[in-house]
Amino acid sequence: MIEEILPGLYRIEIPLPRNPLKAINSYLIKGDGRFLIIDTGMNREECMHEMLSSLERLDVDLDKADFFITHMHADHLGLVASLITDTSKVYFSELEASAVNFQRGAQHWPNFKAIFISHGFPEDELERAMEGHPGRIYSSKQHIEFCTLKEDDVIGIGDYSFRCIETPGHSPGHMCLYEPDKKLLISGDHILSDITPTIEPWLEMANPLKEYLTNLEKVYTLDVDLVLPGHRNIWNDHKGRILELQEHHKNRIGEMLAALEEGDKTAWEIAPYVTWDIECSSWRMFPSVQKVFAVGETISHLVCLEADGKIRRKAQNHKAVFSLE
């Protein structure tokens, strides 16, 4: 699906088959002799087919195309290495550029697994989940030379001049683009219209939920008329949505504290007490990959609660166990 949102700015919906997200929004901006493509989809045939056919319909010459990637998740970054040419620039967060290179190293996934095992995730089920983890299957497998960006850097294309806004939380170096004259926010996965971004543990972040909530406040202050998110619908009330997201995490924290009222628990044991937006009748019926996302979200909230002095952690049988203060 192609939709012209503003003059020279298009949304391309890239399908994500057999994925709860269903699709990703890629954005194309036409400039004077150049094009800018924002986010790409996963490194899989279905995404490539839709991207190439859409670009052809929009008369895009990839030899004249540059790319901006909001963050390192496979549904945003995965396809870019297959689209770039020798003349392309790939704009990306300075922090995540090094993290992506590290992910290709031998230690990333063992370190990832070690975090979850230390929080009680059964090792045999984690192994099964890793076999189907989209980040492992559909990430780019090629080296990419990034043009790195930081806070307040500017990308100009056509009639648009975008300011980079660093918004870590959903990922360590997540970055939004803000066009102040047109009051336009390209939000990646920092703010979504009707689903909540996952906030998971990262080696690069000590307290990802705290950073996420801080950066919601940061974006709240912007003068925005239109939000272009990484998934689902475009909308125009970013402040209202931020208030809903803040309330969502407050409620999630309440559910975890309530679980700990029954006694000490690991993140794995707390996760079933939390309300998850998934069509399963019980925790036991969750797909293993979705359990990884749920436990990761639980860990991030527990880390935030621990930092705020609401709960304490102890080691028990080589596992992190939490209790109320």
Alpha carbon of 181 to those of 87, 130, 174, 230: distances in Å? 29, 44, 23, 21
Which residues lie closer than 8 Å to 71 by C-beta, 6 or more apart? Answer: 77, 93, 96, 170, 171, 173, 174, 175, 188, 189
Q: How far apart (Å, rounded) are the C-alpha atoms in residues 6 and 254?
A: 41
Is 1.10.10 the CATH number for 121-136+246-324? yes
CATH class of segment(s) 2-106+141-244: alpha beta
Give the pLDDT confidence of 31-58 residue by residue, as tens digits.
999 999 999 999 999 999 999 999 999 9
Query: What are the strands of the beta sheet with 154-157, ordered from one edge?
Result: 154-157, 160-166, 175-179, 184-188, 226-229
CA geometry: angle 235, 241, 247, nearest 5 deg: 165
Q: 105: number of CA atoms within 13 Å, CB side?
A: 9
Spell out the domain ranges in the chain: 2-106+141-244, 121-136+246-324
Q: How far apart (Å, rounded) are the C-alpha atoms in residues 39 and 179?
A: 17
- Cα of 281 vs its chain's centroid, Å: 26
* pLDDT, position 177: 98
Q: What is the average pLDDT across 61-86? A: 96
* pLDDT, position 101: 65
Helix axes 238-260, 208-220, angle to 10 degrees: 160
Alpha carbon of 112 to those of 58, 106, 120, 154, 312: distances in Å? 40, 11, 13, 33, 23
Which residues lie closer than 8 Å to 45 by C-beta, 6 or more apart? Answer: none
Q: Is 46 exposed, middle or buried (0-12, 13-18, 19+ CB in 10 A)?
A: middle
Place 98 in a pLDDT band, splitting at 50, 70 and 90: confident
* pLDDT, position 41: 96
The percentage of residues in the chain with a pLDDT greater than 90, rounded to a whole number, is 85
Give the pLDDT confidence of 176-193 residue by residue, as tens digits.
999 999 999 999 999 999
Q: Is 232 exposed, middle or buried (0-12, 13-18, 19+ CB in 10 A)?
A: middle
Q: How far apart (Å, rounded) are the C-alpha atoms in residues 203 and 276?
A: 24
Give the pLDDT confidence of 133-164 residue by residue, as tens digits.
888 888 887 888 999 999 999 999 999 999 99
Residue 140 is given by DSSP the state: -
For residues 69 and 77, is the Cβ–Cβ distance under 8 A?
yes
Q: How far apart (Å, rounded) are the C-alpha atoms in residues 135 and 43?
A: 10
For residues 126 and 291, is the Cβ–Cβ distance under 8 A?
no
Residue 103: Cβ within 10 Å count: 17
What is the value of pTM for the model shown? 0.95
Q: How far apart (Å, rounded) are the C-alpha atoms in residues 85 and 66?
A: 9
Name which of 12-21, 242-251, 263-272, 299-308 the model is least confident about: 12-21
* pLDDT, position 281: 83
* pLDDT, position 161: 98
Predicted confidence (pLDDT) at residue 102 exceeds the cutoff of 80 = no
